[in-house]
Amino acid sequence: MAEERKGAVTMRGNPLTLVGPEIKPGKKAPSFNAIGKGLAPVTLDQFKGKVKIISAVPSLDTPVCDAETRRFNEEAAKLPGGVEILTISMDLPFAQARWCGAAGVDKVTMLSDYKDRDFGEKYGVVMKENGLLARAVFVLDKNDNVTHVEYVKEVANQPDYEAVLKAARKAASA
Find the helix or strand (DSSP H, E) in which 44 lies. none
Which residue among the candidates 65, 90, 132, 155 is catalytic per the annotation?
65
Handedness of CA 30, 96, 163, 126 (dihedral sign): negative
Q: 29: which DSSP letter? A: P
C-alpha to C-alpha distance for 1 and 74, rounded to whole angstroms = 39
Q: Active site includes 100?
A: no
DSSP structure string for 140-156 = E-TTSBEEEEEE-SBTT
Bridge partner list, 115 = none
- The torsion of the CA quartet 164, 67, 34, 18, rounded to 10 degrees, works out to 70
| Cβ(68)–Cβ(136) below 8 Å | no
List, in order, residues 6 or more apart from 142 with CB less than 8 Å away: 49, 50, 51, 82, 171, 174
Q: Return the active site residues.
A: 65
